[in-house]
Amino acid sequence: MKILVTGGDGMLGSALLRRLAAGVDGGPAPEASGIDLPDGDLTDAAVAAGLVARHAPDWIIHCAAWTDVDGAEARFDDAMAANGQATANLAMAASAAGSGFTYISTDYVFDGRGRGGDLDAGYDEDDALAPVNRYGLTKAAGEAHVRELDTPWQIVRTSWLFGDGRVNFPKTIRRLLGERETLQVVDDQRGCPTYADDLAEVLALLVSGRHRGIFHATNRGECSWYDLARETAAACGADPDRIRPCTSAQFPRPAARPACSILRSRRLEEAGCPPRPAWQDAVRRYVARLEAGQVGHP
């Protein structure tokens, strides 16, 4: 199987390329190539078509995206071009090449109030989209283009992603613990942390099995940002009580953040995907790699 990974230099794309190189399901490694912005801007339809024609993949895993959530409020058109138009361009190229397509989406396509207003209920794969902010709108636009594809497609929604990359939450907490005695972290937003390496494992299985449809893929369990910060502190050998809870109202951001971001997964189990590791386990593994200097962007 020949796989093309967009956003190959990014947090998820780079984890995915490493995972694919190790082979899938005990079989040989698929032939996987990564592309990123220096190879061409996917918002240009001719560029996207040219890249797909050159690589002639059996399957495209589209990890490239505008991921600056607050920046999408001020630069909506640019964010929409990167997440909506670029996805449409790639989908059109996939259709022309007969390639399967995987689109990575987000918890922010939901309204953030929980199904039926129940903050503990979370969201199923089939729940109605009502993006909580402009970034969510652009990602929902990308989803809409993928649903129209006439070749096999997957939409894989994930949340609270961390891994080898320039910025992510556990990495920021670890840095701040070295600079300040106490940290205030919001305790009124709940979601599912996801280690890029564990998501890469799921994506490898979904693509090699050529599964179709919408999937929710995160680490197992849910927590608040405060809980995640405390777990990160413990993994760093710091006293978790140095993390203090606060409310979202104390830290206003340009983009609205969902109170409930919990993604419930049913379809992965139906596709035969084994249970994901718990989020606490994922944090420990990631921080251990950070501490050992084993990550790219330390």
Ligand X SMILES: NC(=O)c1ccc[n+]([C@@H]2O[C@H](COP(=O)([O-])OP(=O)(O)OC[C@H]3O[C@@H](n4cnc5c(N)ncnc54)[C@H](OP(=O)(O)O)[C@@H]3O)[C@@H](O)[C@H]2O)c1
Q: Between the CA of residue 137 and those of 68, 109, 115, 131, 298, what are the distances in Å?
A: 13, 7, 18, 5, 32
Q: Which is nearer to ligand X, 85 or 99 (CB)?
A: 85
Rounded to whole angstroms, the Cα distance separating 247 from 54 reads: 50
Residue of 177, 139, 147, 149 lying closest to 63 (CA atoms): 139
Q: Which is nearer to ligand X, 238 or 277 (CB)?
A: 277
C-beta of 196: minimal distance to ligand X in Å? 7
Catalytic option among 103, 123, 135, 226:
135
Q: Which is nearer to ligand X, 181 or 261 (CB)?
A: 261
Q: Are 192 and 263 in contact (CB under 8 A)?
A: yes
The tokens 């993604």 sit on which residue? 263
Chain residues that interact with ligand X, rule: CB under 6 A = 7, 9-13, 36-37, 41-43, 63-67, 82, 86, 104, 106, 139, 158-161, 165
Element (H, E) at 242: none
Q: Which is nearer to ligand X, 43 or 265 (CB)?
A: 43
C-beta of 6: minimal distance to ligand X in Å? 6
Task: Tell me the CA end-to-end span of the chain in Å, nearest whole number.
Answer: 32
C-beta of 190: minimal distance to ligand X in Å? 15
Q: Are 42 and 86 in contact (CB under 8 A)?
A: yes
| Residue closest to ligand X when measured from CB atoms | 10
Known catalytic residue at 226: no
Give catalytic residues, as residue numbers: 135
